[in-house]
Amino acid sequence: MENSCLRPIDRNGKLLCPVPDNYTLKEAELKLGSSLGLCFGKAPTPSQLFLFFAVGSDIQPGTEMEIVVEETAPVSDCLKLMLEKSGLPGETWHLRKMDWCYEAGEPLCAEDATLKELMICSGDTLLLVEGKLPPPGFLKVPIWWYQLWEPSEQWKSHQNDSSCAPSRGGGWGAASTQGAPGNMPVEVSLLCVGDVEISEDATLADLKSQAIALPPLSDFAVPSPAFLRAWTVESKRPGRLLRINQQRLKDYKLGRRTEVCLEPLQKEENLGPQDVLLRTQMRNPAERTYAPALDLVWDTARGWTARSLRQTVASFYSLPVEKTEIAKYFPEKFEWLPLSGRNQQVTKRKKKKKQDSLQGPPYYLKDGDIIGVKNLLVDCDEDFSTIRDDAGKEKQKQLALGKKRSQGALRVHSSSAEGPARPRGPEASLSIHVGSFQ
């Protein structure tokens, strides 16, 4: 039994870190009913770390490998040991720590730093990711091409392929926002075109210039970087708009995980710090569909109020303000939230009216948001939704119902495995006497 150890087992049947031999049950956080496995191999010493690791950023449960290393080992030595154990050739690999949502987190850039200095603990999962890290002071930025129309079947099959490239048949400006599908809110397709290694002291314009030189974009005659919008990529969708071409990348605080997508424009654009870029779509009455999307630049110098935005949208579409209704679209929920512009809040202390800011709850308005527009002269329906929204909500409902059923079945299985419930003791009466304090 000298070459064996005890390892806790979680509810999913996964073996956790071995329990050190000198630990008490309290130190090992073992409770009544905990499951333990008697496994081959010695438990790590107090100066060692027991780590899980996997290859790639797409982790499948049960595919993790295990390794025991000294906590004083540098990242470079840990990387070599993991490469040897996994049988991977070459030196173009780096380590990343898995974040709280089980995705690849920040890379371990300081290869000379020890695992202890980087606060790596037993039980952590490290990811072996292909690709050499850029030298200090440089960024390796994956570049995506931003499309706003419905992708073809060929594009759909290549959206996750690193060799994908935009179609070259439409010429420059083919990705105008006016090409968005008319029967649904804006659909976004991000197509990977390659990586750019660039200094943190370079400007956003430098990044755009280097991205244009990538082979998949070589056929596009881009007049200047001002004809490209740059967005960060968040949850596989455009996130933050990078608006100032002459600003340094260091000032944007992109980090080493940031990916950037580029959107081609028909004309130069120079957005100010108070300008907000919105995608507006006019609702087709009685059809529950929307016209192609149009970009609207909203100057918020007068405040982030619904009334101001409503006036801007009405002027943009040449409609009377009182006959214009707008709503923000939440694609993850398939819901539209009306922005009436009529909600006013009276503060008791200042005794004056104050309009709610669209930056705060529940709107959280930002660059790139979809705004539905309704002409009340021809469309009196209060609903902003589409048939696609109905289908999306129904699918979410079915998924939630299935998850609830599976959790219920798991609770039933757990309770049956633990045996019958303990009988409750007899109930006793309780009397409370309150004294008189008069």
232 vs 172: which has the higher pLDDT: 232
CA distance 271 to 277: 8
If one counts every other C-beta atom within 10 angstroms of the C-beta of residue 370, the result is 19
What's the start-to-end Cα distance of the chain, in Å? 73
Among residues 178, 393, 176, the alpha carbon closest in space to that of 293 is found at 178
Residues 111 and 199 in one domain: no
Positive or negative, the Cα torsion across 5, 7, 13, 14?
A: negative
Q: Which domain holds residue 164?
A: 138-264
Residues 150 and 220 in one domain: yes
Question: Does the pLDDT at position 248 exceed 80?
Answer: yes
Residues 349 and 371 in one domain: yes
Mark which of 215, 232, 264 sits at the end of a domain. Answer: 264
Residues 155 and 245 in one domain: yes
3-state secondary structure of 329: strand
Position 232 in a domain: yes
Residues 326 and 302 in one domain: yes
Mean pLDDT, residues 202-230: 89
Position 436 in a domain: no
Residues 101 and 118 in one domain: yes
Band (pLDDT 50/70/90 cuts) for residue 178 is very low
Per-residue pLDDT at 413: 57
Residues 182 and 242 in one domain: yes
Q: What CATH number did the domain enclosing 378 receive?
A: 3.10.20.90
pLDDT in tens, 182-204: 455 556 678 889 999 999 999 99
Question: Does the pLDDT at position 354 exceed 60?
Answer: no
Among residues 84, 107, 86, 103, the alpha carbon closest in space to that of 95 is found at 107
Position 434 in a domain: no
Task: Provide the number of structural domains found in the chain.
Answer: 3
Percent of the chain residues past pLDDT 90, beyond the cut: 39
Percent of the chain residues past pLDDT 70, beyond the cut: 79
Band (pLDDT 50/70/90 cuts) for residue 73 is very high
Residues 167 and 281 in one domain: no
